[in-house]
Amino acid sequence: MPENTPQSEPPLLTEAGPPPPGPGKANWLAFAVIALVLVAVAFVSLYEPVKNKQYYPQCGFKRVTTLDCPGCGGLRSVHAMTNGRPIEAFRNHPALILSLPILVYIFVLWLREWRQTGMLPIPLASPSSNRPLIWIAALFITVGVIRLIPVKPFSWLATPPINTEQPAAK
């Protein structure tokens, strides 16, 4: 082989880019979770938690300690809110109602990321959506602890007693 012959250079290898965005398993899983949450909210809206105890599990924390857990009153709050009684919903669980604007904020962040990237964001993967989740956790824990203090004004946040009596027929 003569030395003056040009040798062919090996082809340049390029890195494969990410696959084009499209409906993947994560998107379908996200839509399934959203659908499941909506079905659960619709169920709680239709079946009042106090009158239909057979459909709802009892709170293990309350059964063991006789104290309200940070989530006590949440189902009653969702039922009241979805039936147009926001004041009763707040009375049953203030932290849940106060967290709704934060949840809307998280949803807007996720929608914005979905529109920018074409893929649904992975929850808990980005710090911008973690901070509001920490706010919600702090809100639930704070209200959950404060409502256990048996002195006014803290006792005003306590879960109202369950009224199982049926109204008298007129």
Residue range 23-61, pLDDT digits in tens: 556 667 777 888 898 998 898 888 888 777 777 777 788
pTM across the whole model = 0.68
User: Coil, strand or helix: which one is 163?
Assistant: coil
The residue segments making up the domain with residue 153 are 27-157
Using only the alpha carbons of the chain, give its radius of gyration: 26
Domain count across the chain:
1
Distances in Å between the Cα of 26 and the Cα atoms of 31, 103, 122, 132 are: 9, 20, 8, 22
Residue range 69-107, pLDDT digits in tens: 888 888 889 999 999 999 999 998 999 999 999 989 888
**Of 80, 134, 78, 79, the residue nearest 106 (C-alpha):** 134
pLDDT value of position 83: 92
On whether residue 17 sits in a domain, the answer given is no
What is the mean pLDDT of the segment spanning 98-122? Answer: 83
How would you classify residue 147: left for phi > 0, otherwise alpha for psi between -120 and 50, otherwise beta? alpha
Q: How many CB atoms are located within 10 Å of the residue 89 CB? A: 23
On whether residue 9 sits in a domain, the answer given is no
Measured between alpha carbons, how far is 132 from 129 in angstroms, rounded to an integer?
6
DSSP state of 115: H
Measured between alpha carbons, how far is 72 from 98 in angstroms, rounded to an integer?
15
Half-sphere exposure of residue 100, counting CA atoms within 13 Å on the CB side? 13
On whether residue 168 sits in a domain, the answer given is no
